[in-house]
Amino acid sequence: MADANFEKVASLDELAAGDTISVEVGDDQILVANVGGNIYATDDVCSHAYAMLSEGDLDGDQIECPLHGALFSLITGEPLSPPAGEPIRIFEVLVEDNDIYIGPEKL
Ligand code: FES
């Protein structure tokens, strides 16, 4: 059973490999991505300006911002190409039974 710091956001059936979804956890809009069966969670809002990364293209473990094309690592949150210079936050993920839970920010 997931602890109280984790919130169920989706089931695995809703997120096929290569797909992304956007979920709300508290005040945060979070991108959840399935990369070859590994689930990652990051800020959905780009660190450069206001765009939802979940509307961009997933390329392996990187997401491309749909507005200006910056690439971010889903594993580290670091920007990998301009114009973004600031990282996005990454969050703990737990998969239990068929459910995806999002936890605190990974520091
Ligand atoms: S808003 Fe994402 S790169 Fe500009």
**pLDDT tens across 70-97, in order?**
999 999 999 999 999 999 999 999 999 9
Ligand 1 centre distance from Cα of residue 63 (Å): 11
Ligand 1 centre distance from Cα of residue 45 (Å): 9
- pLDDT of 19 above 80: yes
Query: Which protein residues touch ligand 1 with a CB less than 6 Å away?
Result: 46, 48-49, 51, 65, 67-68, 70, 83-84
Q: Residues 58, 34, 38, 93: what is their CA dihedral angle, to the nearest 10 degrees?
A: 110
Structural domains of the chain sorted by starting position, each given as residue range(s) with its CATH number in brackets: 7-105 (2.102.10.10)
Through-space distance between the first and last CA atoms of the chain, rounded to whole angstroms: 23
Percent over 70 (pLDDT), the chain:
98
For residue 78, the model assigns a pLDDT of: 98
